[in-house]
A and B are shown apart, each in its own frame.
Chain A
């Protein structure tokens, strides 16, 4: 909207943004560099922005102190299942609420939307009892079933519904005249067009599952079953003090892969989230 910025103004804007960037970028830098400092240097004064000595053994110790590879796999496969499951459930429900006429559809949609009002923190006590009754405590089932079918997927369904409402209906009408069934239309026509919305749903569903913390510490009790967020807090010495460099090595391994995927695909990430659904 402004094309007439003076050179001085431009410099000022760049300067302001660089200062504002510090708290966003510095912690990641500090996490990576501190994870390869020997423990004696970790609280060195003055602080070292670049390690004066390197100690890569922290990364090996992460795997010695905990079944970290197993925990990594736990988090990864749970997040993958939850993301895939949510995409299926929410795209089907979102499509039906947007396109198909059936009795009570509005009333049912209102009931589903209640899920947005009831965060899973509210129902954590009865959910614990339900999964206790099903013999699923200290299994990954609660971390898979609740996000796919419960409150967290409602937001995804809402986003998909908004997307399908905005999608022109003509393409589907033609297919209907040709006698195509609903499922065929959904699968071969509507869903391929919904890739941007599905991408956005996939991203925030994955991040939600990847970040879950309350649910794992309530439902899981053995280190073999732990997910990454839970495991990260377990690197403590015999007195309960944090083993900072090892903890930061584990944190780095947790953060970097997702960060790299984001940097490679940042355009799809940001634009997918910005232009989908949330406008209605």
Chain B
């Protein structure tokens, strides 16, 4: 490429290192431009919007500084929304992780037909989310399948989706059964990666099955537990379709989680400014939780490679 006429040719500009660096930038360019366009710029915009009183229907867009944040603090609905989110997320994460670990331990036993069980436990993961939710909505109707079966054994079931406590339990449980298979197979892979010699040594020392589980299994799979718990918590904060299909946030506001409230404010009541303020709140919560879990890593996780 460089002029070849000169008697003392300079080293070519396109050295292997430079060519490599250029290739690197080309390889990451689509992702980086995408992140800037569809994540970082929108994040900046959502903060900018949150400083405005903006009603789309009234076509008003006025800078109001921190007024939306003052409104947020004074919002009489917010405590209820945050409590609903916290109950949903805590319930989901605890149930999901416990059940996933239990199923993984069961599937880890050397028994015939485990592949069939694994396939069936995993199957709801591949069923369309809204289809899955609709079936459960059908099952949980007051005169639906679950209450019908309860009635056959002489139990009068509650109106699951119209009673505050059972509505929350329902949305949590429906979501747990939908996705627990994912964590289950991650745990199963982790369990199968624990060196067998550790158990043999423990058995020689006379450690019981439970003690082996607590002292060997749990510490050895702790990196997987941490990673799946982060993914599960962040995922639980994004729940929307299940709420929209099962309860529409009700009864009252008992199952109105933050994303559902945000959707209502922005896209049903057309308060884009306040909706943006709620988005910032959601972002801060996700960021804080993720940060806290990475900090916990050092204390809880036994080893890392």
CA distance A126 to B145 in the complex (A): 42
* Chain B residues whose C-beta falls within 8 Å of the C-beta of A43 in the assembled complex: 141, 143-144, 148
Using an 8 Å CB-CB cutoff, how does the interface string of A247-263 with B read, 1 for contact, 0 for none? Answer: 11001101100110111
Known contacts: A24-B177, A183-B23. The answer to whether A255 contacts B42 by CB under 8 A is no
A54 interface residue (CB < 8 Å to B)? no
Among the 9-residue stretches B67-75, B83-91, B155-163, B233-241, the one with 4 or more Cβ atoms under 8 Å from chain A is: B233-241
A81 interface residue (CB < 8 Å to B)? no
Which residue of A96, A108, A127, A279 is within 8 Å of B38 (Cβ)? A127
* Chain B residues whose C-beta falls within 8 Å of the C-beta of A20 in the assembled complex: 103, 106, 121
Instruction: For residue A134, give the distance in angstroms from its CB to the closest CB of chain B.
Output: 11
A278–B227 CB distance below 8 A: yes
* Chain A residues whose C-beta falls within 8 Å of the C-beta of B275 in the assembled complex: 125
B149 interface residue (CB < 8 Å to A)? yes
B122–A96 CB distance below 8 A: no
Using an 8 Å CB-CB cutoff, how does the interface string of A79-112 with B read, 1 for contact, 0 for none? Answer: 0000000000110110111001111010010011
Which residue of B24, B31, B173, B280 is within 8 Å of A100 (Cβ)? B24
CA distance A274 to B33 in the complex (A): 30
* Chain B residues whose C-beta falls within 8 Å of the C-beta of A16 in the assembled complex: 106
B130–A232 CB distance below 8 A: yes
A255–B143 CB distance below 8 A: no
List, sorted by A's number, 13 A–B pairs whose CB atoms are closer than 8 Å. A5-B109, A5-B110, A45-B143, A100-B20, A117-B283, A117-B286, A123-B46, A207-B126, A214-B259, A233-B244, A263-B119, A270-B122, A278-B227
CA distance A20 to B42 in the complex (A): 43
* Chain A residues whose C-beta falls within 8 Å of the C-beta of B111 in the assembled complex: 5, 10, 13-14
For A148, the closest partner residue in chain B by CB is B34
List residues of chain B with CB under 8 Å of any chain A CB: 17, 19-25, 27-28, 30-35, 37-43, 45-46, 49, 103, 106, 108-111, 115, 117-132, 134-139, 141, 143-145, 148-149, 151-152, 173, 177, 181-182, 185-186, 188-190, 194, 196, 199, 209, 223-224, 227, 234, 237-238, 240-241, 244-245, 259, 262-263, 266-267, 272, 275-276, 279-280, 282-283, 286-287, 290, 305
A210 interface residue (CB < 8 Å to B)? yes
A30–B123 CB distance below 8 A: no
A167 interface residue (CB < 8 Å to B)? no
A211–B129 CB distance below 8 A: yes
A45–B148 CB distance below 8 A: yes
Interface hits, A59-90 → B, CB 8 Å? 89-90
Instruction: For residue A172, give the distance in angstroms from its CB to the closest CB of chain B.
Output: 12
A149–B38 CB distance below 8 A: yes
B185–A255 CB distance below 8 A: no
B237–A92 CB distance below 8 A: no
Instruction: For residue A85, give the distance in angstroms from its CB to the closest CB of chain B.
Output: 9
For A18, the closest partner residue in chain B by CB is B117
Known contacts: A149-B30, A251-B135. The answer to whether A258 contacts B127 by CB under 8 A is yes
A151 interface residue (CB < 8 Å to B)? yes
